[in-house]
Amino acid sequence: MKTRSLLGFAFAQCIVFAASIATSRADSDKSVTAAQVNGTWKTKGGEFKIWALGKQRLQVEFSGVYEYKTPKGPMANEGEGSGVATIEGDTAIFKPEGAEEECQITLKFTGGKLVVTQTGICGFGHNVSAEGTYKKFRLRSQSSDRIEVGPSCSRHCCSHRFAAGRIRPVCGPVV
């Protein structure tokens, strides 16, 4: 009888332990989709353009500005950087090409916002930093941008679609 009680107790403990592991894994799995990261993210002092490349990599472009006033009028320092980030879950790590070794930019996609922290000097310019909370400016990805080219026509017009550095014509009836 005692053996049966101990086995039952041990079995119950195993079930509780397995359930706690499953719950903690579900809590830590905060993956984001390409649609959630692709686009332009803005804050007062900067802008990120991000698009998913696949295989847990993101193409990232940053441009930032630090505005200040002088006796001669308003001035600004500007900086930019680009490169490929690796993403795991909802967090990507990015180091712009040519940046100092100590530079690390962490991009966390959370609650429809992009929270960015910067460690070290990244060479963007005096007081220019990527750090801040960014809001998505455009809900569609860059691959849907259209620009009309050439003279207007009666039945069809062509535009060019820009998708990750590739340009291809898109033709169809005029609506």
Residues 6+ apart with CB under 8 A from 160: 146, 147, 149, 167, 168, 169, 170
| pTM greater than 0.85 | no
Torsions phi, psi for 67 (to 5 deg): -95, 140
- Arithmetic mean of pLDDT, 64-83: 96
Structure tokens at 83: 């490169």
More confident of the two residues 124 and 166: 124
Counting Cα atoms < 13 Å in the Cβ hemisphere of 56 gives 9
More confident of the two residues 148 and 45: 45
Instruction: Mention the CATH class of domain 34-141.
Output: mainly beta
C-beta of residue 36 within 8 angstroms of C-beta of residue 89: no
- Please, which pLDDT band fits residue 157 given cuts at 50, 70 and 90? very low
- Please, which pLDDT band fits residue 30 given cuts at 50, 70 and 90? confident
- Report how far Cα 91 is from the mean position of its chain's Cα atoms: 8
pLDDT the model gives residue 4:
57
The beta strand positions in 14-137, using DSSP E, are 39-43, 46-54, 57-70, 73-88, 91-94, 104-110, 113-119, 132-136
What's the mean per-residue pLDDT of the chain?
Answer: 75
pLDDT in tens, 123-144: 999 999 999 999 998 555 444 4
- Arithmetic mean of pLDDT, 150-154: 33
Structure tokens at 166: 């590739």
| 147 secondary structure, DSSP code | E
